[in-house]
Amino acid sequence: MTTIGLIGAGRIGSQLARLAVARGYKVVISNSRGPETLSALVAELGPDARAATPVEAAQAGDIVVVTVPLKNYRTVPVEPLTGKIVIDTNNYYPQRDGHIPELDSESTTTSELLQAHLPASKVVKAFNHIYAAELTTHGQPAGTPNRRALVIAGNDDAAKATVTRLIDQFGFDTVACASTGNLANSVAAHAAEARLRSYVFIPADLESGKVIGTLVYEPTVVEVEGTYDEVNRLCAEIGDKYHWAFVNINLRPYYAEGSKTYGYEIAEQLGWRAPAHVVVPCAGGSLLTKIAKAFRELQDLGLIPEGRTAMHAAQAAGCGPIVTMIRNDTDVLRPVRPQTIAKSLAIGNPADGYYAYRAVKESGGHGEHATDEEIIEGMRLLARTEGIFTETAGGVTVAATRKLIESGRIPRDEPVVICITGNGLKTPDVLQDRLSRDVTIRPSLSAFDRALADLESKTVA
């Protein structure tokens, strides 16, 4: 029988002990104050639980949970945890733990601290983003509609698989998102692969290409008759009520940190350096903020040379509250009602608007709006000059870049990276009436000869 050792028996630890005993595990619990202080909990848990010292709990556990105040992580025994899976539930609370400089500077994470302390163990982060009380009340059997999901993180795939099975036994699994389309595709795809139940909330007027690109993974798609901002507000309320894992709302720290990979890829593809300028399309404002953070972290780690990258924001004229902040030089965001063909950027009340504004200002960047006409021309320009077919959001970025160059904000001789965040096949409708087919012929060489002569005469004219 598998034994779960617990180092720490506070709110999370005692709840996990209850779940483990209820699912047939043996548990050995410990805390810093001594086994005798745990007699009431052991009595409640019954014969499958016993209290011990932290060293004994570490030795006895096949899987060991570390759930101590973060400031005490160095007291966790090292040697008895060699080769074992260690579940880390810790979060950083400076008011409790005191300031930890390497966390304040974001040069490491709480789990990396623990992993560094336990170099021969396999640390998996879990159970750190759920209220302790809900651990025993929100779990439901696999297959239950609306089952709640919990997220984990770690470097060892086998250890993560083991922890995933444990969480599944404890009763959690639904992921969800509010999306203008692209995130919906990703959440539905990843949920399918991970066998998670997923709910995807989108505005009802979304482009069919994006909806099909979500439906194919068979999530539950909820079309909301309203703007994206209304979908988002609704989802914040649903997340609160049903306790689902909305990847971009109540799990936003994970989603936001994930956006840094865009910055990592830019640096990597440039041969490990950051460009002088980056132009980023903004909807909620998260991507721009996190690309800036990615460059900063890579510099702090010494992976790219020191230097400043000007971050520029691109938004549609019909939905550009962040660019309006930048142009008016105010940190107060005025929400707008979106009116643009760039539906993936149609967020009138961007959550990270203030942060995106600040990242642009601190970096010496600027922002530009693009009208619907300019967006379409931007899409066409990128296709005919670079061979890249982008959706409307990419058209916004190209159009804004053009304006930033024309106004001198981006000097013509400096390197610039522009972020093309979506494929053109998702929004072909906007080009439907703009592009004409050239010629239709019978399948004979003579028909083609005539057509070619005709086409060439037009080109010359």
Positions touching other proteins (CB under 8 A) are: 178-180, 182-183, 228-230, 232-233, 236-237, 240-241, 246, 248-249, 252, 255, 281-287, 333-335, 337, 344-345, 347, 349-352, 354, 393, 421
Say how far apart CA 347 and CA 178 lie, in whole Å. Answer: 11
In terms of CB distance, is 370 or 393 closer to other proteins?
393
CB of 391 to other proteins, least distance (A): 11
Say how far apart CA 375 and CA 282 lie, in whole Å. Answer: 14
In terms of CB distance, is 2 or 254 closer to other proteins?
254
CB of 295 to other proteins, least distance (A): 18
**Sign, CA torsion 137/141/147/153:** positive
Q: How many other CB atoms are there within 10 angstroms of residue 327's CB atom?
A: 14
In terms of CB distance, is 86 or 342 closer to other proteins?
342
Q: How many other CB atoms are there within 10 angstroms of residue 447's CB atom?
A: 13
CB of 270 to other proteins, least distance (A): 22
CB of 330 to other proteins, least distance (A): 12
Say how far apart CA 125 and CA 148 lie, in whole Å. Answer: 17
Q: Find residue 202's DSSP bridge partners.
A: 223
In terms of CB distance, is 22 or 236 closer to other proteins?
236
Say how far apart CA 367 and CA 358 lie, in whole Å. Answer: 12
CB of 229 to other proteins, least distance (A): 7
Say how far apart CA 13 and CA 76 lie, in whole Å. Answer: 14
What is the residue type of 109?
T
- Spell out the residues 6+ positions from residue 271 whose beta carbon is closer than 8 angstroms to its own: none
CB of 343 to other proteins, least distance (A): 11
In terms of CB distance, is 314 or 376 closer to other proteins?
314
In terms of CB distance, is 58 or 341 closer to other proteins?
341
Helix (H, G, I), strand (E, B) or coil at 66: strand
- Contacts by residues 267-275 (CB-CB < 8 Å, ≥ 24 positions apart): 267/294, 267/295, 267/298, 267/303, 267/304, 270/415, 270/417, 272/298, 272/303, 272/304, 273/304, 273/305, 273/307, 274/298, 274/299, 274/304, 274/307, 274/309, 275/309, 275/415, 275/416, 275/417
Q: How many other CB atoms are there within 10 angstroms of residue 76's CB atom?
A: 22
**Phi-psi label, residue 287: left if phi above 0, alpha if psi -120 to 50, beta otherwise:** alpha
Scan for tokens 């707008």, then name that residue: 336
In terms of CB distance, is 345 or 398 closer to other proteins?
345
In terms of CB distance, is 240 or 406 closer to other proteins?
240
CB of 358 to other proteins, least distance (A): 11
CB of 131 to other proteins, least distance (A): 8
CB of 299 to other proteins, least distance (A): 24
CB of 241 to other proteins, least distance (A): 7
Scan for tokens 């988002």, then name that residue: 232
In terms of CB distance, is 173 or 229 closer to other proteins?
229
Helix (H, G, I), strand (E, B) or coil at 170: helix
In terms of CB distance, is 163 or 238 closer to other proteins?
238
